[in-house]
Structure 1
Amino acid sequence: MQRDLTWKTLASEYLLKDTWATIRIDTCQKPDGVIIAPYYVYEFPNWVTAVPFTKDGRIILERQYRHALGETMYEIPGGCVDPSDKNFEEAIARELLEETGYKFDSFEYLGKTSANPSTNTNLMHMFIAYGGEEVQGQELDHGEDLEVLIVTMEEFIELFEQGAFMQSMHVTCIYNALRKIGKLQLI
């Protein structure tokens, strides 16, 4: 029988509440009675991302500068789930349309992952998007500036194998998508 490892939250106080950063400080008690304080928790909205395929089977990528690392990098499209989104599929469809201008025929859910379950409250929900067709220009959020790239499967796999994707949750989504479509085999 497995023992219950759940901590009890004794107190919680917000250090910062802002659009992109909400940080709280918890006082917790472990099952053995030990008090852990302060314990910092970062609250974020849930995120969505997708490996998006055009109608002719190419993959849509993005190049975007990421200020925290000071680097421009390859990514797959995605973003925050908005309160107005009815579900994660609607959220990724909206993000894809805004960032790339492409609308998709269907979506396949690949699961969820966490950037850091020890401090972050949110999850990244991962998809494959099929049948993309450009229907409009980009509608980027304030602060977004990204290039859309359309690559072949061979180019995509080569970029992946070269380690061109740095965002760990994007790497997880790409890995799961390549496995799902039979382009990556487990050893």
Structure 2
Amino acid sequence: MSEHAKRIKRELVMKGTILDVYKDTMELPNGKTEEWDFVSHRKGAAAVVAVREDGKLLMVRQYRNALERMTLEIPAGARDSVTEDTKVCAARELEEETGYRSENLSFLLSLRTTVAFCDEFIDVYLARDLVKSTQHLDEGEAIDVEAHDVDELCEMIYAGKIQDSKTVSAILAYKNLLNKDSGKA
């Protein structure tokens, strides 16, 4: 087994609403030290691939400040607390962001968004049997809901129009599930 780096010091640089930023002093296998950035996502998150009866996926279009543009994503959000079940979070975010709810949520995959410097995890669920409800956006949220065919979304991924990691991973996992169910995989 190869040697690995060892953290010898962690300093809080910034405490945010859901993120904390640290400066880690690391001892490398060669004995030298380096400073690495570490971002702690204190709560974790959940996301939903919401499939309508016609097979189209509900997507949310919203402005993302980090990219300075609108993005097309699956519905998602942070857990209310570190103990909140991600399935409960996924159901809540589905209704809040899209105005649909579902009693038929099943686990699809779990992912880590940016392993080089952040510990954020997102559990993704598949929602079927959607029931129209009411959108309950958080203050400051402006979200447009759209419905797209999975093949159209895959084309957008491969064209670089959808780059959000949770959305790319979830759509491709769902497409793989469809292929297995139809015997194509």
Deviations for 1:19-71, whole angstroms, at most 9, x for unmatched residues?
Answer: 044101111223443322x2111111312212101244332111111222221
Gaps of 5+ in 1: none
Contact 1:23/1:42 (8 A) holds in 2: yes
Give 1:147's aligned residue.
144
Q: 1:53 aligns with which of 47, 51, 54?
A: 51
1:22-61 equivalence runs, <5 A? 22-36=20-34, 38-44=35-41, 45-61=43-59
- Residue 17 of structure 1, CA deviation: 0.3
- Residue 140 of structure 1, CA deviation: 1.1
1:106-185 equivalence runs, <5 A? 106-135=104-133, 137-153=134-150, 155-160=152-157, 162-182=159-179
Contact 1:54/1:133 (8 A) holds in 2: no
Gaps of 5+ in 2: none
Task: Report the TM-score when normalising by structure 2.
Answer: 0.85
Paired residues, number: 182
Alpha-carbon distance change, 153 to 40 in structure 1, aligned in 2, over 3 angstroms: closer
Contact 2:150/2:175 (8 A) holds in 1: no
Q: Separation in 2 of the partners of 1:21 and 1:153?
A: 32
Counterpart residue identity of residue 43, structure 1:
S
Question: Once the two structures are aligned, what percentage of the paired residues are identical?
Answer: 25
- Residue 177 of structure 1, CA deviation: 0.9
- Residue 157 of structure 1, CA deviation: 4.7
Contact 1:55/1:133 (8 A) holds in 2: no
Which range moved further: 151-160 or 73-82?
151-160
Which range moved further: 27-36 or 65-74?
27-36
Task: Report the TM-score when normalising by structure 1.
Answer: 0.84
